């Protein structure tokens, strides 16, 4: 670490300084001896007496003693200053190492604990007025603060807040939500998102951004300039200036109220945080998954399947499957090539499980199944594809039925933007539903289509 090298460099510098002082004393003594020899050599033989020699020796001894005493005093002061400086640097190194190394974490848990501590530090930073997107150095991550907060958060869940001491509240206040929520639990937030990734292919594929305010505003460029062919001396008449649009995505609030008896909460063998995590994760995951596909945009995200049919403005092109009760090879080909070439590189199919069962039976003109499982290089392993494009299961896409929008095809990352508001807030309520204790848990998320040409929909129709 940089701090360790700085300590070593400073210690070496102090040693060199002491060595330099000793060298100066040695040179001064040699100079005094030469002066005495010169004085004695300049005297005649009769002038050199024992008393004179003794006086010279005494003067020399006094001078040497004084120099040595001064050198010893200076060396002691320098050594004390060096020790203090080294101690200070060692303390700084220990502090940095405590912050950077996830204290007490097993190797397999270090990554999870680090992510939770980063989330905690960002929540604290938001309270202090720092920007949410600020990059954190290793030394900025407050592992000790997170450990204290995590310990006291579990205590808060089990006991009424009036039973908590000022020290408990001091640790908990570091995670207070900047928007007035009760408490922020970064670990719950991180694990909830992980479970949503597993159950919602839209979140996996879409663009996701965390914001610190109420909404995200995106500039939309769907216009272009005019041009014309002109001669060498002609003045062009095309003067149209492209116009920028604006898209606002609001972070809506979703909430859950899991509850447990006070007796259950008091049982030390129960992992209350894990229980709360699982309850809220299941509820939030299902709600988000549905909203990203079918949400109305009123008090919730606007879904991919909710815009009218069309090829301009805020409309989505709909391609017929070729059958009111299933899929055809022609419908699949028409859908693929209705999408512009620039979006094909990241294009993905989204279908319900029952629809996948139907599309597995579709064959091309050579009587070959268009549905395949292929082995992909690297960590992706076995991947399901439809006509060469990945096929993902999405439970909230409607099943095949007459006029149903039964499949999505396109670059979901370019088409859909998800907005997450930092933090999950949890409010403990032991009064409303006695003998149960309720945990009013909420978080804010939004989503909307930002590029309508980046995906197509399949409509079950002949």
Domain boundaries, the chain: 2-100, 106-176, 193-462
Report the DSSP beta bridge partners of residue 426.
441
User: 307 pLDDT band (50/70/90 cuts)?
Assistant: very high
Per-residue model confidence (pLDDT) at position 276:
73
Per-residue model confidence (pLDDT) at position 201:
81
With a pLDDT cut of 90, the percent of the chain lying above it is 26
C-alpha to C-alpha distances, 181 to 160, 165, 253, 425, nearest whole angstrom: 17, 20, 12, 6
Comparing 236-245, 281-290, 442-451, the range with the smallest average pLDDT is: 236-245
Q: What is the phi/psi pair of residue 445, to 5°?
A: -150, 145
User: 2 pLDDT band (50/70/90 cuts)?
Assistant: very low
Per-residue model confidence (pLDDT) at position 58:
64
Comparing 88-102, 198-212, 324-338, 410-424, the range with the smallest average pLDDT is: 88-102
Looking at domain 193-462, its CATH class is alpha beta
Per-residue model confidence (pLDDT) at position 181:
38
> What average pLDDT score do residues 138-163 get?
69
Comparing 26-30, 356-360, 369-373, 420-424, the range with the smallest average pLDDT is: 26-30
Q: What is the phi/psi pair of residue 248, to 5°?
A: -110, 130
Per-residue model confidence (pLDDT) at position 97:
47
Report the DSSP beta bridge partners of residue 210.
420
Q: Indicate the pTM of the whole model.
A: 0.60
Among 278, 340, 289, 280, which residue's Cα sits nearest to residue 311? 340
Distance CA(74)–CA(69), nearest Å, equals 9
**Residue 223 scores a pLDDT above 70:** no
> What average pLDDT score do residues 276-290 get?
80
Distance CA(362)–CA(359), nearest Å, equals 5
**Residue 46 scores a pLDDT above 60:** no
Comparing 350-364, 368-382, 428-442, the range with the smallest average pLDDT is: 368-382
The DSSP call for residue 405 is: E
> What average pLDDT score do residues 178-185 get?
42
Contact yes or no for 184/154 (Cβ under 8 A): no
How confident is the prediction for the chain on average, in pLDDT?
74
> What average pLDDT score do residues 292-318 get?
95
User: 234 pLDDT band (50/70/90 cuts)?
Assistant: confident
**Complete DSSP assignment for 185-202:** -HHHHHHHHHHHHHH-HH
Encoded tokens for 6: 């700085």
Distance CA(347)–CA(205), nearest Å, equals 10
């Amino acid at each position: 670490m940089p701090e360790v090298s700085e300590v070593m460099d400073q210690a070496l510098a102090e040693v060199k300084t002491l060595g330099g002082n000793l060298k100066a004393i040695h040179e001064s003594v040699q100079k005094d001896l030469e002066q005495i020899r010169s004085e004695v050599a300049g005297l005649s033989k009769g002038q050199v007496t024992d008393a004179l020699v003794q006086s010279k020796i005494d003067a020399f001894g006094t001078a040497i003693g004084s120099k040595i005493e001064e050198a010893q005093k200076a060396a002691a002061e320098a050594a004390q200053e060096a020790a203090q400086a080294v101690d200070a640097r060692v303390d700084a190194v220990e502090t940095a190492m405590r912050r950077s190394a996830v204290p007490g974490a097993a190797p397999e848990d270090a990554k999870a604990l680090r992510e939770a501590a980063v989330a905690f530090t960002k929540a604290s930073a938001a309270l202090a007025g720092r920007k949410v997107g600020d990059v954190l150095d290793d030394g900025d991550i407050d592992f000790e603060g997170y450990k204290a907060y995590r310990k006291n958060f579990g205590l808060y869940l089990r006991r009424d807040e009036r039973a908590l001491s000022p020290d408990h509240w001091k640790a908990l206040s570091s995670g207070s939500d900047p928007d007035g929520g009760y408490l922020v639990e970064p670990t719950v937030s991180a694990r909830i998102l992980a479970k949503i990734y597993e159950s919602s292919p839209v979140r996996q594929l879409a663009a996701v951004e965390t914001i610190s305010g109420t909404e995200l505003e995106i500039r939309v460029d769907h216009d272009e300039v005019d041009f014309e062919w002109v001669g060498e001396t002609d003045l062009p008449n095309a003067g149209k200036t492209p116009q920028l649009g604006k898209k606002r995505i609001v972070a809506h609030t979703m909430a859950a109220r899991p509850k447990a008896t006070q007796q259950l909460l008091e049982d030390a063998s129960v992992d209350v945080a894990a229980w709360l995590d699982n309850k809220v994760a299941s509820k939030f995951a299902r709600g988000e998954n549905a909203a990203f596909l079918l949400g109305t945009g009123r008090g919730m995200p606007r879904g991919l399947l909710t815009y009218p049919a069309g090829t301009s403005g805020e409309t989505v092109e709909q391609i017929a499957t070729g059958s009111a009760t299933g899929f055809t090879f022609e419908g699949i080909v028409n859908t693929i090539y209705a999408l512009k070439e620039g979006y094909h590189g990241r294009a993905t199919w989204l279908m319900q499980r029952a629809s996948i069962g139907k599309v597995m039976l579709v064959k091309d003109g050579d009587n070959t199944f268009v549905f395949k499982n292929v082995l992909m290089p690297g960590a992706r392993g076995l991947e399901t594809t439809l006509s060469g494009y990945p096929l993902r299961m999405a439970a909230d896409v409607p099943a095949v039925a007459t006029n149903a929008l039964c499949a999505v095809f396109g670059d979901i990352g370019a088409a859909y933007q998800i907005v997450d508001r930092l933090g999950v807030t949890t409010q403990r309520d032991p009064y409303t539903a006695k003998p149960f204790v309720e945990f009013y848990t909420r978080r804010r998320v939004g989503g909307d289509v930002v590029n309508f040409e980046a995906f197509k929909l399949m409509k079950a129709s002949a």
